[in-house]
């Protein structure tokens, strides 16, 4: 992994725009995160094109299905040589075990715990009685027991998870620079706070991609780290 923990979320509908943005800020990020929007629009071809920039690729696909299907999906993306792939911890232990077993040798498999767009009311509405913090810790423990490399959690939980999983690999999204716009995120911290609390990877999208000057924004965030 690159020493710079910032992974730029490139969830853009146009491949040329995604490539141009990544190239512009490539000296101030540690990797590229490609999510569902990008993957559904550009597939394997898009990932191969961005690989040419020489940065690690994080496929944020949040796989969640029966164990056999998730394992087959992991095998199907071997050729893309991702550095990180996400699955959903809510898929259960067997699914996580099979996903890890099917992953490439150099691919970190991390489990999404509680989306950073969800708060207490959202969890209650889907039948989860625990608050986001307790739910994230519970799913982190399950992911660790299933042999995964780490988890995805908000900056609010990463410190507590780091205490119980000392050698875990922790991906933190939903980050906003001080005084930045929150958008649809509900449980946010700054990149510096997340890093100090134990984050291994900092996923940052809109604060860079939608900034008036993306290069200046990337430099500013890097400077805080």
| Whether the Cβ atoms of residue 101 and residue 71 lie closer than 8 Å to each other | yes
Q: From start to end of 10-107, where are the E strands?
A: 31-35, 57-63, 84-88
CB 143 within 8 Å of CB 151:
yes
d(CA 25, CA 115) in angstroms, rounded, equals 27
User: Which of 203, 206, 182, 181 lies closest to 191, judged by CA?
Assistant: 203
| Cα-based torsion angle of the residue sequence 22, 34, 57, 147 in order, rounded to the nearest 10 degrees | 150
CA proximity to 115, closest of 92, 88, 84: 88
Catalytic residue among 24, 33, 52, 62: 62
- Whole-Å CA distances, 126 to 31, 102, 121, 122, 163: 34, 30, 9, 7, 28
Q: Is 62 a catalytic residue?
A: yes
- Residues with a catalytic annotation lie at 62
């Amino acid at each position: 992994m690159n020493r710079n923990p910032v992974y730029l979320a490139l969830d853009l509908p146009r491949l040329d725009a995604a490539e141009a943005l990544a190239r512009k800020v490539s000296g101030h990020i540690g990797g590229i995160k490609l999510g569902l929007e990008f993957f559904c629009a550009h597939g394997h071809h898009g990932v191969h094109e961005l690989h040419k920039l020489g940065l690690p690729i994080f496929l944020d696909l949040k796989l969640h299905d029966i164990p056999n299907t998730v394992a087959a999906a992991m095998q199907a993306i071997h050729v893309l040589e991702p550095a990180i792939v996400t699955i959903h911890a809510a898929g259960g232990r067997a699914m996580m075990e099979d996903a890890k077993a099917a992953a490439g040798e150099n691919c970190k498999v991390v489990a999404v715990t509680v989306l950073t767009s969800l708060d207490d009311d959202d969890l209650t509405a889907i039948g989860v009685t625990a608050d986001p913090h307790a739910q994230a810790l519970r799913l982190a423990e399950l992911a660790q027991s299933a042999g995964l490399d780490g988890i995805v959690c908000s900056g609010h939980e990463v410190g507590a998870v780091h205490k119980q999983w000392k050698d875990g690999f922790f991906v933190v999204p939903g980050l906003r620079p001080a005084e930045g716009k929150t958008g649809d995120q509900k449980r946010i911290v700054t990149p510096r706070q997340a890093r100090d609390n134990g984050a291994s990877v900092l996923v940052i999208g809109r604060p860079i991609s939608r900034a008036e000057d993306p290069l200046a924004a990337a430099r500013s965030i890097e400077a805080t780290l």
